[in-house]
Amino acid sequence: METPTTLPAAPSKSFADVWMITLGHAMTHWYPATFYVLLPLIGKELGLSYSQIGLVMTCQYVAGALSNVPGGMLADTMGRKGLLMALSLFWIGFPYLLIGFSHSYTALLLCVSLVGIGNNLWHPTAIPTLGERYPEQKGLVLSLHGMGGNVGDALAPLAVGALLVTFSWREIVVMNAVPGAVMACIILAYMGSLRLASKKKSRPPAQPETGGQSIQQYAQGLRGLARNRLLILLAVSSAFRSMTQTTLLTFLPVFLAYEMGYSPLWVGACMFLLQAAGFLASPLAGHLSDRMGRKRIIMSSMAVSGVMLAGMAFAGRSPAFIFLIALVGFFLYAIRPVLQAWLLDATPKNMGGTSIGVLFGMQAVGSSIGPLVGGMLADRYGIMSTFWFLAGVIVVANLFIFLIPVSEARAAPSGVRPS
């Protein structure tokens, strides 16, 4: 059996960096969460089939899959974390602004592809920064960072659902560009001030703005990652988990709008329910994984997620479907920070950006496949078949975690990573 991790005593440290980066993370999720609610309206205006709606998200995540590893390489070699995070925020918001002026399906696909590139600059930069700053509390800190994403995912559907009562979807995507631009400036200024303060005090410990490394050093670290079996198994499992999440986020609002006849306001409320449950689960799962071990938390959460997704397919158009949305959100979103913390436990500190880039690159591969397959199933067999598909996919994700040997399943002691 997996043994709990014993944590060494650590001095208390300000979480100011955590909250600032978490706020930026909320904005990176705000824009996609906005788009999921707008997608049924865009689909109706352009006359899109379920498969075409799925292809929209597939294009976004294909672009993300192609850009994740280069983004991680850039974070590890360049070292200018504040600049990269600010660039990511701007790059996400600007293509959504362009969507407001597009009137063709091709232009829509191009814009969402640009979003996929920008969105995947954030994680290889922010997650290793937090793991490096708080080595004894990686599970907790990354769960707080994940909560920021849940906040953006939860509040955006509510806000957009309310705004759609007054404004058109095109007006909303134009207005929506402002918060991201403002947050990009704040992140750039804050991280820059930390970097200057670190230089003045000449402190050697790890800071949010860590330096880069030579190409030779990076190549040596990259060879080590290629032989890291735990990294590969975690990344593949995470790909199937993300396939489940992204396909659910794509077709849940479509199902609620098309099949259950919900207004945009009620669609937004249901999406809020999904994300609010994840908001509650994330810190709990992160903290428990620091204490009890990563594998135990991940496997139990994935197993319950599969049961709940099958329950949604059984429930159909009944009121129980809405109740199950919250349960799926609670267990499905609890896994994210635990996977990230486990990955940072198992990889060298100077390769954190690339490791996270590999993780999110594989997630983007899964996310690119899921919506297209889900759309094709919905066109041929009805949209409920998509939920059965998701229940099976999360089971496959759990099988890869099960394959991790007991010796590798034990979380590394906080602050220590295998070389």
CA–CA dist 131, 251 (Å, integer): 33
CB-CB contact of 114 with 95 (8 Å): yes
pTM greater than the 0.85 cutoff:
no
Q: How many domains does the chain have?
A: 1
CA distance 191 to 262: 43
- Average the pLDDT over each of 85-99, 212-226, 239-253 and give the range with the smallest value: 212-226
Buried b (16+ CB within 10 A) or exposed e, 107-130: ebbbbbbbbbbbbbbbbbbbbbbb
The CATH number covering residue 20 comes to 1.20.1250.20
Is 416 within the bounds of a domain? no
CA distance 416 to 354: 18
Answer yes or no: are the C-beta atoms of 188 and 86 closer than 8 Å.
Answer: yes
Residues 42 and 147: beta-carbon distance below 8 Å: no
Is the residue at 418 inside a domain? no
Question: Is 380 within the bounds of a domain?
Answer: yes
- pLDDT value of residue 265: 84
Structural domain contains residue 149:
yes
116-141 tens-digit pLDDT: 777 777 877 888 888 777 777 777 78
Q: Are 93 and 177 in contact (CB under 8 A)?
A: yes
- Let me know: does 131 contact 141? Beta carbons within 8 Å: yes
Structural domain contains residue 6: no
Summarize pLDDT for 140-154 with one digit per residue, the tens.
Answer: 788 888 778 878 888
What confidence tens digit (pLDDT) does each residue in 164-200 have? 888 988 998 888 888 888 888 888 887 777 666 666 6
Residue range 4-9: mean pLDDT, rounded: 42
Distance of alpha carbon 353 from alpha carbon 350, whole angstroms: 8
Closest CA to 390 of 311, 315, 299: 311
The domain of 229 spans: 16-404
Residues whose CB is less than 8 angstroms from the CB of residue 260 and which lie 6 or more positions away in sequence, other chains included:
317, 321
413 assigned to some structural domain: no
Residue 390 has pLDDT above 50, yes or no: yes
Is residue 9 assigned to a domain? no
